Structure 1
Amino acid sequence: MSLDAVMKRSWPAVYAYIRASGRRSDEAMDLTQAFICDVFLARRLLEKADQARGRFRTLLIGAVRNYLADVHRRANATTRMPKGGISAIDDYKAKGFDVTGDESVGSSPERAFNARYVAEIIRVASERLQRELESAGDGVSWELFRLRVLHAAFQGDATGYDQIAPRLGIDKGTCAARLLTAKRRFANILMEELRATMIDPNDLRDEVADLMALLNNR
């Protein structure tokens, strides 16, 4: 996975950790940008990850914790900003995603980090599934997955087949069958995305178990 891809996936979780540590939203964003410059880029975090052969999520959360311990002045968060900003963050904002809300407030930094990390993995996998299904002309299956799976995971409720089937013009049995196919493909995509974050492939099973536990605790 490229450095830019890793930064795009990781920075919302870094922001959530910093925000939950008690920083204001603007200060947390400044510190997130500084962390990317100082640790991801200047200290070559990915190279250290390859050498450490541990799980990247564990390495990342430790790096953020240590970075905050070293920060004494807020000025440190603005003096190292590269001209033009950081593309990983700018691209995220341009697409309309917002991680600067207050969902991290009141959570422990570790819990906020893990919740956002899980959300990012699922977002990336869901976007891949959506592109695949819609490019194959199967927007119906994507809509089923969105209403039945994503709504349940992130909003706490799932639209019933009695409501979905008439809207999509198919019967409930077809809804269930197509949703099952979409779920299976999503599971495969999710495994591929998780595998891409693994420094040691042997950690994949443990990371999947952790992901499911974190998702259930959202």
Structure 2
Amino acid sequence: MTARNSLLPAAFRTTRWTCVCKAQSGSEDGRAALAELCDAYYEPVLAFLRCELRDADAARDMSHAFFAEMLGSGSIGGADRTRGRFRSYLLGAVKHFVARQRESSARMKRGGGAEPLSLDDAEAREVADAKNNTPDSEFDRQWAVTVLARGLEALRLECIAENRETFFEAVKPLLTGDGAYGDQAALAASCGMNLDAFRMAVHRLKKRLRQCVKAEVAGTLDDPAMVQEEMQSLFAALGG
């Protein structure tokens, strides 16, 4: 897997169908694109496996094995652009991988070739507790977090290019819903703006953030008409 520390912690790259097509080609560019896809979807896959296996260490090991197989075998070739969502393809692929691993483990156990998985009960409860979500919902939630973080990073880079990074960092809590309404007057004063001008500037940034997120979502779809539906799924996954 490519070095993930070259990316911001919460801003993994969102898969685009153009990258999928390159990955299917088997070329050097295709292999690079496939590695990028693995970086993009590491966290959603890990979230799925943590909930499915209820063992943090086993989930990390299986995530690495899944992506290693994908990188080594080019199994991305099964992704069908006409099916609409690469996200759905990847979720199906990791489920199939887990099923094959379990079948293999069961055969080894029947043959006496492996010991049963040891799982610490306290850790199992801690990992499984995660709001009692299903593995599928954990995958979707982390995918939504990834897309939103990527959209926020795109907006931050735009603000840097426009020499507005300081303003962006000041109002970021308001963009992400972490800032209280009553904080706006103090923030406006600290930014050297009156309250009305401040609110208008924040409103424009929120609008631009939504556009950035929609662009990220559109990159995972074949049909632009599906963007609004996918946006609704994104916010539903976040509980909003």
Superposed CA RMSD: 2.5
Q: Which residue of 2 aligns with 1:168?
A: 191
CA distance in 2, matches of 1:104, 1:173: 44
User: How far did 1:21 drift?
Assistant: 1.2
Moved more, 170-179 or 114-123: 170-179
Q: Which residue of 1 aligns with 2:139?
A: 113
Q: Which residue of 2 aligns with 1:139?
A: 165
2:218 to 160, 180, 195: 195
Q: Which residue of 1 aligns with 2:38?
A: 7
2:49 to 12, 15, 18: 18
The letter for the 1-side match of 2:213 is L
Asked which structure has the greater CA Rg, the reply is 2
Does the CA contact (< 8 Å) of 2:54 and 2:128 recur in 1?
A: no
Moved more, 36-45 or 111-120: 36-45
Does the CA contact (< 8 Å) of 1:144 and 1:179 recur in 2?
A: no
CA distance in 1, matches of 2:127, 2:191: 35
CA distance in 1, matches of 2:70, 2:197: 50
CA distance in 1, matches of 2:157, 2:129: 30
Does the CA contact (< 8 Å) of 2:81 and 2:222 recur in 1?
A: no
Q: 1:141 to 1:58 in 2, by over 3 A?
A: same
Does the CA contact (< 8 Å) of 2:35 and 2:71 recur in 1?
A: no
Q: What TM-score, normalized to structure 1?
A: 0.74
Q: Does 1:128 align with 2:151?
A: no
Q: How big is each residue's C-alpha offset from its partner over 1:46-95, in whole Å with a ceiling of 9 and x where there is no partner?
A: x322355231122221222221111134xxxxxxxxxxxxxxxxxxxxxx
The letter for the 2-side match of 1:209 is Q
CA distance in 1, matches of 2:225, 2:209: 22
Q: Which residue of 2 aligns with 1:211?
A: 234
User: How far did 1:41 drift?
Assistant: 4.9
Q: Which residue of 1 aligns with 2:99?
A: 69
Does the CA contact (< 8 Å) of 1:141 and 1:182 recur in 2?
A: no
Does the CA contact (< 8 Å) of 1:125 and 1:186 recur in 2?
A: yes
Q: 1:118 to 1:104 in 2, by over 3 A?
A: farther
Does the CA contact (< 8 Å) of 2:51 and 2:134 recur in 1?
A: yes
Give % identity. Answer: 22
CA distance in 2, matches of 1:139, 1:104: 38
Q: Structure 1 unaligned segments of length 5 or more: list them.
A: 74-100
Alignment coverage as a number of residue pairs: 185
Q: What TM-score, normalized to structure 2?
A: 0.68
